[in-house]
């Protein structure tokens, strides 16, 4: 079957291909100077002090949670408020570090955490909020920051789907104490696989440098307060001070990322123009609820929640789109409390998840791309008889 409207398209050109050839010629394939350069460029781009590249956005989340726990900011049994709609690896690191997840409902229009649900979810065990910017759309951060300030809570930000989006002139992903990004193939920039965790907190930065690479001291700066490094390079090459992982990226991914970052602003501009056209067609169609933009979304994709006469008919609609060569997916993982993996996790649910259930049963999304897709959107409208 011919794919006429794909979920994602490639954005590499000769610049990325040459970057790969340069790495191959250098024979320096594992994490090295290019990764350091990419991290510095990324931090400058998003106006933060520190950025740590890893091998995926999922690993970026794992690094964030591990650093918060090893540094003592979070303790086993602490409660973290999370939206009921997100990707699996928003949640899994929290569970893996003995934290309790407290799920709240979403806003059916923005698809992000509902502010009213957030406010009613607080308990004496609550220590953090994990805000997720879904499908490119910033959360409404003013009330979230106020809530966190009132209750002395840590704000963690999962921005893996929303690189380049803005809230009140600030690049999101860097609003909380620690935030995460992804550069998987279908995301705003593509390094094949890749993730970045950012923070302005030097201690958390040092924890992440250590945790990312086996828990060893090799990447720690000499002035780190985590551990006083000796002058014995031989000893420090295999010196482990905490349980860690191998989450290291490749030089090749960093080289590609350096080229992709140069193009990010243009990619986001094109995605926003695509979104303007998409919204002009579908915003007044009473059969669908489409995502309401907060701030400046970077429009990862275009969501639909079937409404009115189409509610309950998602299987038929998705089958039609697939038949016509239009790729679709669930809106992230739907209501995650319906996933069987939850039986292995410590969690509670605050209130009813009415909107998340509606999204779970009636939602799907189609792709946005970093190239103009007016023709594809017109075709989608034709198939849906708009």
Longest dimension (CA), the chain: 72
The tokens for 111 are 């698809």
Catalytic sites, residue numbers? 187
- DSSP category for residue 2: -
Residue identified by tokens 């006429």 is 4
From CA 161, how far away is CA 258, in angstroms rounded?
Answer: 19
Could you tell me the sign of the dihedral formed by the alpha carbons of 220, 226, 229, 235, in that order?
A: negative
From CA 195, how far away is CA 193, in angstroms rounded?
Answer: 7
From CA 386, how far away is CA 383, in angstroms rounded?
Answer: 8
Alpha carbons within 13 angstroms on the beta-carbon side of residue 74 total: 33
Which string of DSSP letters, residue by residue, matches 247-314? ----HHHHHHHHHHHHHHHHHHHHHHHHHHHHHHHHTT-TTEE-PPP-SB----EEEEEE-GGGTT-H
Angle value at C-alpha 64, between 340 and 28, nearest 5 degrees = 110
Radius of gyration of the chain (CA): 21
From CA 358, how far away is CA 10, in angstroms rounded?
Answer: 32
180 and 196 in contact (C-beta within 8 Å)? yes
Residue identified by tokens 């704000």 is 155
The tokens for 105 are 């409902």
From CA 104, how far away is CA 87, in angstroms rounded?
Answer: 15
* Strand (E) or helix (H) holding 24: helix 14-26
Q: Cβ atoms within 10 A of the Cβ of 176, count?
A: 26
- DSSP category for residue 137: P
């Amino acid at each position: 079957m011919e794919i006429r409207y794909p979920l994602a398209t490639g954005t590499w050109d000769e610049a990325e291909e040459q970057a790969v050839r340069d790495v191959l010629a250098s024979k320096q394939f594992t994490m090295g100077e290019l990764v350091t350069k990419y991290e510095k460029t990324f931090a400058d781009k998003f106006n933060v002090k520190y950025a740590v590249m890893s091998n995926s956005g999922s690993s970026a989340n794992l690094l964030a949670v591990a650093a918060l726990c090893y540094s003592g900011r979070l303790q086993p049994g602490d409660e973290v408020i999370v939206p009921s709609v997100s990707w699996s690896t928003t949640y899994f690191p929290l569970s893996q570090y003995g934290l309790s997840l407290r799920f709240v409902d979403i806003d059916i229009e923005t698809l992000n955490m509902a502010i009213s649900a957030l406010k009613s979810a607080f308990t004496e065990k609550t220590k953090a909020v994990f805000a997720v910017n879904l499908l490119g759309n910033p959360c409404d951060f003013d009330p979230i920051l106020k809530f966190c300030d009132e209750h002395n809570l840590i704000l963690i930000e999962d921005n893996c789907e929303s690189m380049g989006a803005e809230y009140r002139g600030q690049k999101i992903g860097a609003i909380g104490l620690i935030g995460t990004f992804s550069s998987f193939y279908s995301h705003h920039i593509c390094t094949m696989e890749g993730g970045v965790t950012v923070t302005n907190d030097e201690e958390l930065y040092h924890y992440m440098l250590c945790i990312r690479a086996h828990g060893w001291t090799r990447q720690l700066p000499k002035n780190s307060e985590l551990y006083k490094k000796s002058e014995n390079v031989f000893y420090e090459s295999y010196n482990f001070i905490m349980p860690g992982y191998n989450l290291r990226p490749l030089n090749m991914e960093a080289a590609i990322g350096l080229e992709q970052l140069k193009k990010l602003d243009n990619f986001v501009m094109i995605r926003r123009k695509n979104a303007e056209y998409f919204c002009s067609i579908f915003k007044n169609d009473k059969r669908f609820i489409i995502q309401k933009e907060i701030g400046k979304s970077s429009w990862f994709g275009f969501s639909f929640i079937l409404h009115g006469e189409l509610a309950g008919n998602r299987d038929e609609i998705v089958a039609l789109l697939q038949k016509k060569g239009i790729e679709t997916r669930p809106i992230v993982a739907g209501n995650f409390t319906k996933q069987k993996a939850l039986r292995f996790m410590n969690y509670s649910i605050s209130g009813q998840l009415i909107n998340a259930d509606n999204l779970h049963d009636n939602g799907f999304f189609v792709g946005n791309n970093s190239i103009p897709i007016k023709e594809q959107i017109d075709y989608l409208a034709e198939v849906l008889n708009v």
